[in-house]
Amino acid sequence: MVYKVPFVNYPEHYSRMWDEVISAISEALSKGDLLLRGQLRQFEEDIASFVGVKYAVGLNSGTDAMLLSLKAAGVGPGDEVITVAHTFVATIAVIVFCGAKPVLVDVGEDMNMNVEQVEQKISKKTKAVIPVHLNGRLCNMKKLMEIADEHNLVLIEDAAQALGASFDGKKAGSFELTGCFSLYPAKVLGAAGDGGFLTTNDEKINESIRLLRDHGQDRKTGKIFFYGFNSRLDNIQAAILNVKLKYLPKWIERRRDIAQIYHTGLSDIPEVTLPPPPINAGSYYDVYQNYVIRTKNRDELVKFLEEKSVETIISWRIPNHFHSALNLEHFKLPVTEQISNEVISLPMYPELSDDQVQYVINVLHDFYEQR
Ligand SMILES: Cc1ncc(COP(=O)(O)O)c(C=O)c1O
C-alpha cells in the first residue's frame, strides 16, 4: 500500500543524496575497501567529535554496542543490571547474554527511566545501570551519575534513539563509561542496513571494544587476547554514513521543526498527551527520533489514521515483561503497562513536508471531532 504519509520514506531519503552515496560506494568497491579501512576510521573520528568524546568504535549494531560494553565492563554471572522494560527488547537481551540478571524499573511520564526506583532496586549484586534515552530525549543524567558514583556502578547509555540529543549541554553518549548507538536505517542517522557504534572517553575501554568486535585479535601482531565476536561495522556502510553525517545537524533541526508543527497543531486536543515541544533553553535538547503521543482511544485512532492513509507504529504494544518466553513476568511496572496501551508513533523524518504534517494533524482533529 502506498500511504499519503508513510511512516518512513527511504526512497525519498536517498534520492536527495543519490549521486554522493553511489559515488562513495563505487569508490570503496573500486579500491576494495571492505573491512576496517579508511572510511571506517574517518567515520569513527567524525562521529566521536560530533558526540564530544575521545573515541568511537564502529560496530554491527546498537545491540552489540551494549553487549560489548557489558563484557568490557566485566559484567557476568551473579551480577544484576538495572534497566527499564519500556525499551526495545535488545536492551534486556544483552544483560541475559552476559549471564547477568536484568532488574527492571518503571518509567516516568516522560517514558524514561524512573530514577528514584533505580535507587530502591540497588543490591549488593548490582553492577551496572543501562538508562535508555527514549524517543530522542535524555534521561535525568545528573541524578543517575550521582547514584552511579555513590554505589560504584557502571553506567552504560542506551543512546540508540538519541544521537545529537543533550542534557545540560552534554550530548548522549558522552556521560559515562560508554554510549551505545544504533544506525538502524530509520534512526536519526541510519545506515543502509544494520550498523551501530560505541562512544567512550576511556582509553582502555576503547582498546577492549576494538578487540572484542574482531574476535579478540590484534591484526598487527596476530595475538588473540580473549574470545571475541564478529561485530564490525562494514566499510561500505561507513562510506555511506560519511556522506550522511554532514547532513545530520540539518536533519535534527528539521525533526525539531516538525515536532513544533505537531505541537502547535495538536495542543488543543485534550484527549491527546504530547511530548514536550522543542525548546532552546533548559536542560533538555531533544532530537525527536520518534514523535510519540498518548491517548486512551489508541487502537481506534490507529485504525482511523490507517483509513486516511497515514502509517503509524506502536512501540511497544506488549510490555517486555508480559512475554512469557522472556522470564520477566515477576515485574510489576504500572506506568510501563499503561503506556503500552496508549502510545502511537506518528510519522517523523526530515523528508516529511509541512503539508504532510498538517494532513496528519487534520486527521487527528477529524477523529476527535467525530466523537
Ligand atoms: C532503545 C533501543 N535500544 C537498542 C536498540 C538496538 O539497536 P540495533 O537494532 O542497532 O541493534 C534499538 C534499535 O531499534 C533501540 O531503539
Ligand 1 centroid, distance to 190 Cα (angstroms): 12
Which three cell numbers mark 99?
549471564
Determine if ligand 1 sits within 6 Å of the CB of residue 90.
yes
Determine if ligand 1 sits within 6 Å of the CB of residue 181.
no
Q: How far apart are CA 147 and CA 113, in angstroms?
A: 13
Q: How far apart are CA 229 and CA 287, in angstroms?
A: 32
> In this predicted structure, what is the pLDDT of residue 208?
98
- Tell me the best of 64, 180, 181, 184 to mutate to test the pocket of ligand 1, counting ligand atoms within 8 Å of each CB and taking the most: 184
Determine if ligand 1 sits within 6 Å of the CB of residue 61.
yes
> In this predicted structure, what is the pLDDT of residue 1?
83
pTM greater than the 0.95 cutoff? yes
Ligand 1 centroid, distance to 90 Cα (angstroms): 6
* CB atoms near residue 124 (< 10 Å): 5
> In this predicted structure, what is the pLDDT of residue 215?
98
- Beta carbons of 250 and 257 less than 8 angstroms apart: no
Residues 6 or more apart in contact with residue 98 via CB below 8 angstroms: 67, 70, 71, 75, 76, 79, 81
Which three cell numbers mark 322?
508480559
Which three cell numbers mark 349?
523524518
Determine if ligand 1 sits within 6 Å of the CB of residue 158.
yes
- Closest-lying ligand 1 atom to the alpha carbon of residue 289: 16
CA dihedral over 113, 116, 119, 122, signed as positive or negative? negative
User: How many residues are recorded in the chain?
Assistant: 371
User: In the 8-state DSSP scheme, what is residue 134?
Assistant: G
Q: Which residue in the block uniquely carries the three cell numbers 510490555?
A: 319
Ligand 1 centroid, distance to 367 Cα (angstroms): 32
Residue 105 CA neighbour count, 13 Å, CB half? 22
* Identity of the residue numbered 10: Y
Determine if ligand 1 sits within 6 Å of the CB of residue 83.
no
Ligand 1 centroid, distance to 320 Cα (angstroms): 14
Assess if CATH 3.40.640.10 describes domain 18-105+112-245: yes
Assess if CATH 3.90.1150.10 describes domain 248-369: yes
Ligand 1 centroid, distance to 93 Cα (angstroms): 11
Range 309-313 contact pairs with CB under 8 angstroms and sequence separation of 24 or more:
309/3, 309/4, 309/5, 310/3, 310/4, 310/5, 310/346, 310/347, 310/359, 310/360, 310/363, 311/3, 311/5, 311/6, 311/7, 311/347, 312/7, 312/344, 312/345, 312/346, 312/347, 313/7, 313/344, 313/345
Q: How far apart are CA 251 and CA 136, in angstroms?
A: 13
Residue 199 CA neighbour count, 13 Å, CB half? 28
Q: Tell me, rounded to whole angstroms, the distance of Cα 339 from its chain centroid.
A: 18
Residue 354 CA neighbour count, 13 Å, CB half? 4
Q: Which residue in the block uniquely carries the three cell numbers 527492571?
A: 104
Determine if ligand 1 sits within 6 Å of the CB of residue 196.
yes
Ligand 1 centroid, distance to 137 Cα (angstroms): 15
Q: What are the pLDDT tens digits along the chain (371 aa)?
A: 899 999 999 999 999 999 999 999 999 999 999 999 999 999 999 999 999 999 999 999 999 999 999 999 999 999 999 999 999 999 999 999 999 999 999 999 999 999 999 999 999 999 999 999 999 999 999 999 999 999 999 999 999 999 999 999 999 999 999 999 999 999 999 999 999 999 999 999 999 999 999 999 999 999 999 999 999 999 999 999 999 999 999 999 999 999 999 999 999 999 999 999 999 889 999 999 999 999 999 999 999 999 999 999 999 999 999 999 999 999 999 999 999 999 999 999 999 999 999 999 999 999 999 98
Domain locations along the chain: 18-105+112-245, 248-369
